[in-house]
Amino acid sequence: MTEQERTRGNMISSRHAAFLVVAILMFVAAVPAAHAQSTVGTITQIQGTANIQRAGATIAAATNMPILLHDKISTEANSSLTIGLVDNSSLQLGASSTLTIDNSILVNGVGAPSQVGLLGGHLHSIIVGAMRGSSTTFEVNTPNAIGAVRGTEWDTGYDEDEHEGSHGCRKRTTLDVEDGTVEFCNSASPPECKDVSKGKHSEIRCGAFWLGSSGVGGLGAFGAAALGVGVAGGIGVGIAAGAGGFDGPSHGPTVHSPSK
């Protein structure tokens, strides 16, 4: 090997080593950033017993534990859990409830949930500060409804119990707004949405807004038709059509067990 070839080989090796160092530094820098983005809140209060399903494992929830994107949080009977978010926003999960963290965003450089799923029970949401900004979104989804942030404080409930007048429909989402306004959408395709204001209560059963004692069985003509489709098809978001609405006075926070 000539001196020129040896010099050229050393230059190539040095270049490869430099690329390797840069790649390692980029990886090391990315790890904290990825972790920061996947962390969406912190458990600030817990009463009773709650568990978190994370990456295939179940761990006991505890105060000051971070909540990560894709966590599934469940509380037991007579238990509750509060997740502190950016700008003093918070999510309070009631007893015998299950919440999933489905999507996240960065709010002022801090990870925060943009979409959560209430699979059962009750959730009290307080969304303030930058999380209510025009460039941010926050949704509470249930198996048959979507509540999008426009308000500051509201309660969402979901159950699959038998309720009077439901004609076999066992999917019910309730919404009670304590402050501000919340956009509440059913599972029609395209969905029908209503703005529910402070002090008002609204309810969706299967794919239709519930009308209380009015309409056909409390659903209205389109809602009654959708109910049959929804029950037969195992309704989920965006499957069955529904119409009608009920924006009566609020029945108070739905954090407690709903009445039938």
State pLDDT tens for residues 177-187. Answer: 999 999 999 98
Pairing assessment for the beta strands 80-84 and 39-47 based on DSSP bridges:
antiparallel
pLDDT in tens, 59-86: 999 999 999 999 999 999 999 999 999 9
Sequence-ordered alpha helix ranges (H) in the chain: 3-38, 221-233
- Average pLDDT (40-69) is 98
- Euclidean distance between CA atoms 137 and 104, whole angstroms: 10
Among the residue ranges 123-132, 158-167, 217-226, the one predicted with the least confidence is 217-226
Q: How confident is the model at residue 47 (pLDDT cuts 50, 70, 90)?
A: very high
pLDDT band at 139 (very low <50, low <70, confident <90, very high): very high
**pLDDT 10s digits, 7-43:** 555 555 555 544 444 444 444 333 344 444 499 999 9
What's the CA gap between 68 and 230, in Å, rounded? Answer: 33
CATH class of 3-249: mainly beta
- Map out the domains of the chain as residue ranges: 3-249
Confidence of residue 215 (pLDDT cuts 50, 70, 90): very low
Are 40 and 69 in contact, with CB atoms under 8 Å apart? yes
Mean pLDDT of the chain: 76
Taking alpha carbons only, the member of 77, 109, 104, 108 closest to residue 93 is: 77
In this predicted structure, what is the pLDDT of residue 108?
87
Residue pLDDT, tens place only, 224-237: 333 333 333 332 33
Cβ atoms of 235 and 171 within 8 Å: the answer is yes
- Cβ(166)–Cβ(172) below 8 Å: yes
pLDDT value at 93 more than 80: yes
Report the pLDDT averaged over residues 201-225: 62
User: What average pLDDT score do residues 210-237 get?
Assistant: 40
Confidence of residue 130 (pLDDT cuts 50, 70, 90): confident
Q: Which two tokens stand for residue 9?
A: 């080989």
Q: What is the pLDDT of residue 204?
A: 95
